[in-house]
């Protein structure tokens, strides 16, 4: 496929609701079931090995009206929680076998309980991810949690989920993650070789396709992007930080670039590309996934690692990507992102690194005010 075709197909795909994305996949895989993956991380290989398509559940953007979910929540919570619940209340998830949440924040915990109550026919799982990465029992604990998921999912689909099948899925997802790393690595060196919004759409589309269909497409894209002659342009080289769970409207990413910033790196959909190298695909796959989660994860605000402060991680991300500033883009009312913002900001001010914070929500219709803020920030750096 050509780069243009890949990007268009991905943009079309991320514009669909999760149920519509599943229907799209069923044109090629008629028997495949769907399983929702609420951010940030879940062992998608276990789901794929069960004969299901893991589908990233990033809310519904501006595609649905909230008719019922608002009455189940306080007003001051992130929009992904409300629109995700609305999807279940509207019966949009009826073709799914279930959904997996994990211990990222209180909102996700409450959301999983609400979904359990309102979608009694689905299998709703809540994974308790390890919080202490250095106990002698951490790996055993993480593996036991993944084993619990495998057992219950296997009971749900009525067939075994073997180690061999998970290893085969691991090979596929390793390939996808490696290609995404390749795309990100190239962009760090040649950030104007592909628009940030295109990278965003392409990576998000990977959460809505079978990995065996997605990998070849992504390889075609990487080949063409790498072969493209790059025209440099002026701009402030930034790291985009804080968008690890609820995803920003694609128009916001366009505005960030149009406002004079060049995105060198970001934490968009970080859970789907969490590992900094391949996961071992021979042997015990659940032990390998546990090991990868504990020791090979990149930093993110919802994964605590006492020996690796996230503020240091941000500085490394900046240095490795060649960025000169940070654009914080947390979802409105996202507690993990806003709490970390305090620590990130303190560190950046100590290091004299320019930064700007913009917040977003799903139903963000206009970006004019944000664009003005970004332009002012960029101009203050470019013409200093």
Q: Is 89 in the site for ligand SF4 (CB under 6 A)?
A: no
38/60 Cα distance (integer angstroms): 12
Least distance (Å) from ligand SF4 to the CB of residue 335? 5
Q: Which of residues 125-164 bind ligand SF4 (CB under 6 A)?
A: none
Taking CB under 6 A as the criterion, the residue among 336, 367, 377, 378 binding ligand SF4 is 336
Q: Is 240 in the site for ligand SF4 (CB under 6 A)?
A: no
> Is 108 or 170 the residue whose CB approaches ligand SF4 more closely?
108
Q: Is 80 in the site for ligand SF4 (CB under 6 A)?
A: yes
Pick the closest to residue 184 from 322, 328, 321 (CA basis). 321
Taking CB under 6 A as the criterion, the residue among 7, 25, 78, 263 binding ligand SF4 is 78
Q: Is 81 in the site for ligand SF4 (CB under 6 A)?
A: yes
Taking CB under 6 A as the criterion, the residue among 50, 104, 114, 180 binding ligand SF4 is 104
Least distance (Å) from ligand SF4 to the CB of residue 377? 24
> Is 47 or 77 the residue whose CB approaches ligand SF4 more closely?
77
Size of the site for ligand SF4 (CB under 6 A): 15
Q: Is 108 in the site for ligand SF4 (CB under 6 A)?
A: yes
Least distance (Å) from ligand SF4 to the CB of residue 270? 11
> Is 105 or 179 the residue whose CB approaches ligand SF4 more closely?
105
Please measure the distance between the N-terminal and C-terminal CA atoms of the chain and give it in whole angstroms.
Answer: 43
Two tokens at 166?
């998970």
262/147 Cα distance (integer angstroms): 42
Q: Is 100 in the site for ligand SF4 (CB under 6 A)?
A: no
Least distance (Å) from ligand SF4 to the CB of residue 80? 5
Least distance (Å) from ligand SF4 to the CB of residue 171? 30
Q: Is 334 in the site for ligand SF4 (CB under 6 A)?
A: yes
Half-sphere exposure of 115 (CA within 13 A, CB side): 31
> Is 252 or 334 the residue whose CB approaches ligand SF4 more closely?
334
Q: Which of residues 263-302 bind ligand SF4 (CB under 6 A)?
A: 302
- Site of tokens 């060649």: 322
Q: Is 37 in the site for ligand SF4 (CB under 6 A)?
A: no
CB 315, CB 351: distance < 8 Å = yes
> Is 238 or 337 the residue whose CB approaches ligand SF4 more closely?
337
> Is 80 or 238 the residue whose CB approaches ligand SF4 more closely?
80
332/322 Cα distance (integer angstroms): 28
> Is 82 or 317 the residue whose CB approaches ligand SF4 more closely?
82
Q: Is 107 in the site for ligand SF4 (CB under 6 A)?
A: yes
> Is 293 or 341 the residue whose CB approaches ligand SF4 more closely?
341
Taking CB under 6 A as the criterion, the residue among 125, 246, 266, 305 binding ligand SF4 is 246
Listed ranges 75-83, 170-178, 223-231, 287-295: which one lies at the site for ligand SF4 (CB under 6 A): 75-83
Listed ranges 102-110, 164-172, 225-233, 278-286: which one lies at the site for ligand SF4 (CB under 6 A): 102-110
370/62 Cα distance (integer angstroms): 18
> Is 327 or 337 the residue whose CB approaches ligand SF4 more closely?
337
Give residues in contact with ligand SF4 (CB under 6 A).
Answer: 78, 80-81, 104-105, 107-108, 245-246, 302, 331, 334-337
């Amino acid at each position: 496929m050509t780069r243009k075709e890949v990007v268009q197909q991905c943009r079309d795909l991320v514009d669909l609701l999760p149920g519509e994305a599943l229907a799209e996949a069923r044109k090629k895989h008629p028997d495949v079931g769907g399983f929702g993956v609420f951010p940030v991380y879940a062992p998608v290989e276990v789901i794929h090995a069960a004969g299901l398509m893991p589908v990233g559940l990033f809310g519904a953007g501006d595609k649905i009206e909230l008719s019922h979910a608002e009455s189940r929540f306080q007003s001051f919570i992130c929009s992904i929680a409300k629109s995700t619940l609305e999807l279940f209340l509207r019966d949009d998830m009826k073709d799914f076998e279930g959904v997996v949440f994990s211990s990222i924040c209180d909102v996700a915990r409450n959301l999983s309980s609400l979904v359990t109550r309102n979608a009694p026919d689905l299998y709703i799982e809540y994974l308790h991810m390890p919080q202490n990465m250095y106990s002698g029992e951490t790996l055993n604990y993480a593996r036991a949690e993944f084993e619990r998921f495998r057992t219950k999912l296997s009971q749900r689909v009525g067939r075994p989920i073997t180690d061999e099948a998970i290893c085969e899925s691991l090979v596929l997802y390793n390939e996808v993650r490696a290609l995404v790393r390749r795309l990100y690595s190239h962009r760090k060196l040649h950030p104007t070789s592909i628009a940030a919004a295109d990278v965003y759409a392409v990576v998000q589309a990977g959460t809505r396709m079978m990995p065996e269909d997605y990998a070849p497409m992504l390889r075609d894209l990487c080949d063409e992007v790498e072969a493209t002659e790059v025209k440099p342009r002026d701009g402030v080289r930034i790291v985009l930080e804080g968008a690890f769970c609820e995803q920003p409207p694609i128009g916001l990413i366009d505005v960030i670039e149009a406002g004079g910033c060049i995105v060198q790196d970001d934490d968009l959909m970080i859970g789907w590309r969490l590992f900094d190298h391949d996961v071992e695909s021979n042997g015990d796959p659940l032990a390998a996934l546990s090991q990868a989660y504990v020791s090979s994860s990149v930093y993110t605000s919802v994964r605590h690692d006492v020996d690796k402060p996230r503020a240091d991680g941000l500085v490394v991300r900046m240095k490795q990507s060649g960025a000169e500033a940070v654009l914080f883009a947390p979802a409105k009312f996202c507690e993990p992102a806003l709490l970390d913002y305090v620590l990130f900001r303190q560190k950046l001010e100590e290091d004299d690194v320019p930064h700007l914070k913009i917040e977003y929500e799903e139903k963000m219709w206009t970006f004019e005010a944000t664009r003005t803020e970004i332009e002012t920030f960029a101009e203050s750096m470019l013409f200093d």
